[in-house]
């Protein structure tokens, strides 16, 4: 068939060549499009553990991650996965990542093999024909990799921190629970990743072997325990002097603005080395000297029982800084003591640095709670608000206060310390020492009108001089009111908050009460606890009663009689007694020790069947007792009513260690409202 003449160009060689080239390009484009648009590549993947530890091993709570190069059909990947040795596991997908989570913690020190079989298929149908393998080893039990000081180190500085480095992150609380230090010392704990640091709160003892052990229940963050207990030891440097106490103590708040700053050592100090040794910030001018603290245990070696400056080489062991003026109230002071201080043998004392916060002097003590506490480094009198707030130091003795009393108007305090009785305003002004010469005096008690003070007295050799009334106006012409029964010596032997481990007030505390007109005093003698009726007018001699007391007596005006806890059968039975001014005794009910009254109501301490003592209440003397506390872990003591009688404050001790304070508490007479006011302290008194 012949093409029309006008289409003859289609038969031309040029057109045919063009057509051939164009067809080739179309075929090539189709091939390239097919290659680019259609996925023919099988998926690839990388296997790894999600939680590697140091050294490349896996933690026991690790998961296994399989990262694919593209989306795959989950069931094909999960079917291809296997783990040897096999442990139960679960699959989870996150994008193109397969996460395999063991159902339980993997065993330690174990080699695992991961195998991915062929047949993994992607979304386009491409199948992975090859296999993949990956092996990993779990970590060993946690261990200590380094310690400072080095094990067996000698001459370690007493201020040195102890650093323990583990091979991985540890559970901080479990490690501390498994930490033991021998001999024990107080320290601050800090962590820096896998490094545990123990910083001693006070310098360690010199020339002492210390052992640090970490064991059960210490675990790492996976919960794996140490294979065996870790133990290291070191020996401290022999420095000659060791600090045994600092006054005020570190970080205590409410310190008296009249306070001295003292460092107590375990050996005598060379006075020539102490000039300028103590400095305060903000700066405070003052003087530094070496003293010996009062010690009323062994007279007449120290019959005056007052701290005094001591010549070189005489054995004084307390460094005291006395400010020229009172400190600023509500101010943080930083104290530093230089290492220039030397013992009399020439050996150095460790440098000291600490802080304390001053309080504000009280203007009056009315409706405040007074108590003894050694929170400042030595037992002194403190005051706090009825809700436990704003505790502040009232006395600032360097030797423990053993007993105190506050005048009825709340303006004056009298107290005994180291065998010396002093008085001052409640705010700290007008401090006056009442004990004269070489006498030793204790248990100050104000007379009702505040014009006199009764104290127990012994002479410088310890001989019993009985009880005396000291006039507060003149301070002279004291009058003996009882010929014997003064507290025995040894008040400075008691430590802490002044708790002796026995119920009731200590023998050196105030254990006397007066009739409203002040004419009669019921006294519990410090020497033997025998109750004595004393005619303060002197018309009749003191009368010994047939009971041994274990509390401070109270005068009940509505009953015109004294109440006292005591025993009339040498301790077989403990009761509380009504005692008239004529000496008539009437037993009223059980009582183990201290009592207090508010109107006709009475709060007292009774003994439980397990031996612990608890607080009870009765709306009237001799009435039915309502227990206010019953926790066998504690024993209660020293109840004192709020002035309105609607609350009782009391002290607590641990039943297993009655010398350890469990704080000061309050409770309502119906047993509700039990509240802890203070974690320490003893012998609280709610002042009117």
Domain CATH number, residue 595: 2.120.10.30
**Residue 432 resides in a domain:** yes
Give yes or no: residues 485 and 614 share one domain: yes
Residue 529 · residue 488 · CB < 8 Å: no
Least confident of 65-69, 344-348, 366-370, 484-488: 344-348
Which residue, 139, 142, 166, 141, is CA-closest to 49?
139
**Residue 32 resides in a domain:** no
Q: How many CA atoms lie within 13 A of 303 on its CB side?
A: 11
Q: What is the mean pLDDT of residues 119-134?
A: 91
CA pair distance 393, 386, nearest whole angstrom: 15
195: CATH: 2.60.40.3710
Give yes or no: residues 581 and 434 share one domain: yes
Residue 615 · residue 639 · CB < 8 Å: yes
| pLDDT value of position 232 | 95
- Show which of 93, 112, 137 is a domain's final residue: 137
| pLDDT value of position 303 | 42
What number of other Cβ atoms are within 10 A of residue 465's Cβ?
Answer: 18
**Residue 555 resides in a domain:** yes
pLDDT tens-digit series, residues 504-518: 889 999 999 999 999
Give yes or no: residues 415 and 511 share one domain: yes
Q: What is the mean pLDDT of residues 423-427?
A: 96
Give yes or no: residues 478 and 330 share one domain: no
Q: In the predicted model, is pLDDT for residue 39 greater than 90?
A: no
| pLDDT value of position 480 | 96
Q: In the predicted model, is pLDDT for residue 221 greater than 70?
A: yes
Q: In the predicted model, is pLDDT for residue 116 greater than 80?
A: yes
- Residue 18, both tokens: 């063009």
Residue 603 · residue 626 · CB < 8 Å: no
Question: For residue 474, how far is the Cα from the chain centroid?
Answer: 45
Domain of residue 213, residue span: 144-236
Give yes or no: residues 496 and 589 share one domain: yes
Give yes or no: residues 481 and 349 share one domain: no
**Residue 76 resides in a domain:** yes
At 5, the pLDDT band (50, 70, 90 cuts) reads: low
Q: What is the mean pLDDT of residues 572-595?
A: 94
Go through the chain and tell me how many residues it has: 688
- Residue 177, both tokens: 């629970």
Q: In the predicted model, is pLDDT for residue 109 greater than 90?
A: no
Give yes or no: residues 408 and 549 share one domain: yes
At 396, the pLDDT band (50, 70, 90 cuts) reads: very high
Q: In the predicted model, is pLDDT for residue 150 greater than 90?
A: yes
Least confident of 51-65, 187-201, 399-413: 51-65
Give yes or no: residues 129 and 197 share one domain: no
| pLDDT value of position 239 | 61
Residue 460 · residue 441 · CB < 8 Å: no
At 15, the pLDDT band (50, 70, 90 cuts) reads: low
| pLDDT value of position 313 | 39
- Residue 565, both tokens: 């806890």
CA pair distance 342, 446, nearest whole angstrom: 45
Report helix, strand or coil for 415.
Answer: strand
| pLDDT value of position 431 | 95
Give yes or no: residues 160 and 99 share one domain: no
**Residue 545 resides in a domain:** yes
Across 199-208, 245-254, 301-310, the highest mean pLDDT is recorded for: 245-254
Mean pLDDT of the chain: 89
**Residue 548 resides in a domain:** yes
Dihedral (CA of 321, 325, 326, 331) sign:
negative
Which run of H or E residues covers position 347?
none
Give yes or no: residues 616 and 583 share one domain: yes
CA pair distance 396, 248, nearest whole angstrom: 9
Strand residue runs (E) in 167-277: 179-182, 187-192, 195-200, 209-214, 230-236, 243-247, 253-255, 261-265
Give yes or no: residues 451 and 554 share one domain: yes
Q: In the predicted model, is pLDDT for residue 307 greater than 70?
A: no
Q: In the predicted model, is pLDDT for residue 440 greater than 80?
A: yes
- Show which of 309, 339, 358 is a domain's final residue: 358
Residue recorded with tokens 């010690």 = 295
- Show which of 137, 156, 187 is a domain's final residue: 137
Report helix, strand or coil for 217.
Answer: coil
Residue 226 — φ and ψ, nearest 5°?
-60, 140
Q: In the predicted model, is pLDDT for residue 12 greater than 70?
A: no
Strand residue runs (E) in 447-584: 452-458, 464-471, 479-482, 512-514, 520-524, 530-535, 543-549, 554-556, 561-567, 575-579
Report helix, strand or coil for 300.
Answer: coil
pLDDT tens-digit series, residues 542-583: 999 999 998 889 999 999 999 999 999 988 999 999 999 999
CA pair distance 686, 636, nearest whole angstrom: 16
Longest dimension (CA), the chain: 168
Which run of H or E residues covers position 175?
helix 172-177
89: CATH: 2.60.40.1220
**Residue 364 resides in a domain:** no
CA distances from 433 to 291, 415, 419, 609 (A): 18, 10, 11, 46
| pLDDT value of position 32 | 55
Residues pairing with 370 in the sheet: 383, 685
| pLDDT value of position 304 | 44
Residue 416 · residue 433 · CB < 8 Å: no
- Percentage with pLDDT > 90 across the chain: 71
Q: In the predicted model, is pLDDT for residue 14 greater than 70?
A: no
pLDDT tens-digit series, residues 229-259: 999 999 987 666 788 899 999 999 999 999 9
| pLDDT value of position 101 | 92
| pLDDT value of position 75 | 94
Which run of H or E residues covers position 75?
helix 74-80
At 351, the pLDDT band (50, 70, 90 cuts) reads: confident
- Percentage with pLDDT > 70 across the chain: 91
At 340, the pLDDT band (50, 70, 90 cuts) reads: confident
**Residue 469 resides in a domain:** yes
CA pair distance 634, 513, nearest whole angstrom: 28
Q: What is the mean pLDDT of residues 433-453?
A: 93
Give yes or no: residues 532 and 582 share one domain: yes
Q: In the predicted model, is pLDDT for residue 312 greater than 50?
A: no
Q: How many domains does the chain have?
A: 4
């Amino acid at each position: 068939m012949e093409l029309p003449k006008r289409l003859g160009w289609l038969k031309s060689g040029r057109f045919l060549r063009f057509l051939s080239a164009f067809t080739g390009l179309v075929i090539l484009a189709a091939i390239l499009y097919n290659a680019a648009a259609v996925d023919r590549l099988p998926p690839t993947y990388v296997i790894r553990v999600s939680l590697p530890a140091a050294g490349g091993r896996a933690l026991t709570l690790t998961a296994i991650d399989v990262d694919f190069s593209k989306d795959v059909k989950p069931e094909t990947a999960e079917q291809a996965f296997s783990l040897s040795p096999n442990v139960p596991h679960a699959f989870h997908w996150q994008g193109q990542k397969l996460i395999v989570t063991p159902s339980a913690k993997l065993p330690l020190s174990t080699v695992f093999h991961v195998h991915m079989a062929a047949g993994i298929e992607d979304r386009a149908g491409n199948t992975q024909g090859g296999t993949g393998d990956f092996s990993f080893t779990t970590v060993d039990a946690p261990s200590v990799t380094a310690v400072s000081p080095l094990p067996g180190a000698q001459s370690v500085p007493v201020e040195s921190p102890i650093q323990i480095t583990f091979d991985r992150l540890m559970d901080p609380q479990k490690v501390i629970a498994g930490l033991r230090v021998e001999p024990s010392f107080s320290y601050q704990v800090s962590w820096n990743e896998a490094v545990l640091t123990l910083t001693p709160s006070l310098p360690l003892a010199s020339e002492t072997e210390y052992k640090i052990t970490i064991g059960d229940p210490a675990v790492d963050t996976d919960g794996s325990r140490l294979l065996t207990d870790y133990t290291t030891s070191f020996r401290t440097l022999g420095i000659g002097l060791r600090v045994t106490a600092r006054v005020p103590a570190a970080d205590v708040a409410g310190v008296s603005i009249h306070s001295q700053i003292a460092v107590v050592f375990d050996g005598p100090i060379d006075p020539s080395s102490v000039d300028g040794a103590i400095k305060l910030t903000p700066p405070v001018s003052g003087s530094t000297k070496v003293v010996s603290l009062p010690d009323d245990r062994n007279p007449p070696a120290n019959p005056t029982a007052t701290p005094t400056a001591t010549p070189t080489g005489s054995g004084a062991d307390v460094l005291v800084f006395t400010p020229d003026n009172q400190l600023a109230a509500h101010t943080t002071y930083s104290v530093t003591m230089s290492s220039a201080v030397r013992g009399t043998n020439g050996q150095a004392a460790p440098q000291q640095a600490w802080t304390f916060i001053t309080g504000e002097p009280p203007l009056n003590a009315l409706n405040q709670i007074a108590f003894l506490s050694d929170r400042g480094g030595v037992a002194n009198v403190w005051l706090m608000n009825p809700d436990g707030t704003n505790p502040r130091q009232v006395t600032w003795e360097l030797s423990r206060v053993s007993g105190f009393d506050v005048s009825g108007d709340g303006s004056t305090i009298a107290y005994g310390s180291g065998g010396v009785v002093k008085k001052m305003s409640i705010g700290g002004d007008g401090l006056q020492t009442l004990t004269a010469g070489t006498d030793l005096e204790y248990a100050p008690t104000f007379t009702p009108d505040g014009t006199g003070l009764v104290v127990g007295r012994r002479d410088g050799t310890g001989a019993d001089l009985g009880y005396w009334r000291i006039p507060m106006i003149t301070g002279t012409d004291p009058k003996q009111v009882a010929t014997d029964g003064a507290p025995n010596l040894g008040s400075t032997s008691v430590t802490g908050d002044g708790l002796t481990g026995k119920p009731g007030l200590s023998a050196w505390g105030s254990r006397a009460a007066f009739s409203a007109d002040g004419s009669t005093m019921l006294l519990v003698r410090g020497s033997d606890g025998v109750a004595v009726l004393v005619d303060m007018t002197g018309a009749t001699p003191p009368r010994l009663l047939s009971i041994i007391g274990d509390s401070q007596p109270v005068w009940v005006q509505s009953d015109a009689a004294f109440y006292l806890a005591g025993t009339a059968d040498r301790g077989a039975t403990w009761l509380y007694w009504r005692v008239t001014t004529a000496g008539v005794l009437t037993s009223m009910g059980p009582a183990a020790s201290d009592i207090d009254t508010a109107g006709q109501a009475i709060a007292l301490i009774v003994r439980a069947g397990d031996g612990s003592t608890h607080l009870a209440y009765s709306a009237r003397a001799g009435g039915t007792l309502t227990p206010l506390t019953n926790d066998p872990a504690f024993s209660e003591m020293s109840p004192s009513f709020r002035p309105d009688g609607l609350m009782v404050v009391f002290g607590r001790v641990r039943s297993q260690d009655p010398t350890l304070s469990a704080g000061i508490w309050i409770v309502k007479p119906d047993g509700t409202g039990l509240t802890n006011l203070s974690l320490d302290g003893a012998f609280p008194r709610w002042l009117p």
